[in-house]
Amino acid sequence: MKRLIITLVLLFGLSALSAQEGAAPAGEPRTDSVAASGDAATAAGERADDSGAESSAGSLWDRANTAYINGDYHAALEMYERILAGGMGSAKLYYNLANACFKEGQTGRAILFYHRALRLAPGSDDIRYNLSVAEARTKDRIEEIPAFFLTEWARAVRRTMSCTAWSVLSLAALAFALGLFLLYLLAPRLSLRKAGFYGTAVAAALFVLTTWFAAGERREMLDDSQAVVMAASTAVKSSPDKSATDLFVLHEGTLVKISDWLEGWCEITIADGKKGWLECRTIERI
């Protein structure tokens, strides 16, 4: 009976792993160009309305990419926005939309969409590079409070893959741990049982670590407290009142963290720790 229970647990872990193998992180786009993909266009087209090819999201995707390549950034921007308004969303779409906004001089919106793309594809060096170029165009130079070096290292490792990729890796580690534990229980030779025991410990530690990374990526992906200043400039007040004292001024493209809100006002914190209130209409959540 004991062996039967162990075998059933192992089979359950393997079946969970197989169910997740179909999910893969989005492909990385090329720097300073559109991320064109037949798969992305096909997926968009399958979810679009059946009113004809010209009105489908797949057709819009191809036309928008063509317009971008030909230098017609305004037209490309309009078509990407139409796809987004139709309920579509992907790292490639946000990346292309951000590039078009940047080319049109809309720095704040470009930074907003680069951040949205990064949440879906945190391992993309192209998105991070273009985001850094866009942030260099902003007026505010805010010195960020340095984090503990181990925290920064863990965050950098976690961002090398998406939440889905970390989840798949954690399930693989769980399957290895179960298999090695089974080896530890059933192996006739002492050397194999030792290998199974130590292998189980390593695989279990890897499972905990990758699960923690997956949870962290998911938490960051769903975080709605971060926002980007969209107004050309906005005064940060000492209280949620237009007649309150101006503490400092923020400009388009600056990243803020929302901690509270009250009747159209948001309490925000910037990277150097300063706090204040500004009108919610001047920012947009990532």
pLDDT band for 36, please (50, 70, 90 cuts).
low
Mean pLDDT throughout 34-44? 47
Helices 190-222 and 107-120 cross at an angle (nearest 10°) of 150
pLDDT confidence of residue 49:
43
234-282 confidence digits (pLDDT tens): 999 999 999 999 999 999 999 999 999 898 999 999 999 999 999 999 9
Tell me how crowded residue 139 is: count the other CB atoms within 10 A of its CB.
13
Contacts of 69 (CB under 8 A, 6+ apart): 33, 34
Between residues 183 and 143, which one has the greater pLDDT? 183
Tokens standing for 179?
Answer: 């298999």
Q: Which residue has the higher pLDDT, 131 or 35?
A: 131
Identify which has the larger pLDDT, 30 or 223.
Answer: 223
* This prediction's pTM: 0.72
Write down the pLDDT at residue 145: 74
- Higher-pLDDT residue of 187, 49: 187
The per-residue pLDDT for 23 is 31
Q: What percent of the chain has pLDDT over 70?
A: 80
Q: Strand (E) positions, the chain? A: 226-229, 233-237, 246-251, 255-262, 265-269, 275-279, 283-285
CA dist., res. 108 & res. 252, Å (int): 5
pLDDT at 234: 94
Q: What is the pLDDT of residue 151?
A: 79
Position 40 scores a pLDDT of 42
**Among 170, 202, 169, which Cα is nearest to 194's?**
202
Kindly report, residue by residue over 96-130, the tens digit of the pLDDT. 999 999 999 999 999 999 999 999 888 888 999 99
Residue 240 backbone phi and psi in degrees, to 5: -75, 70
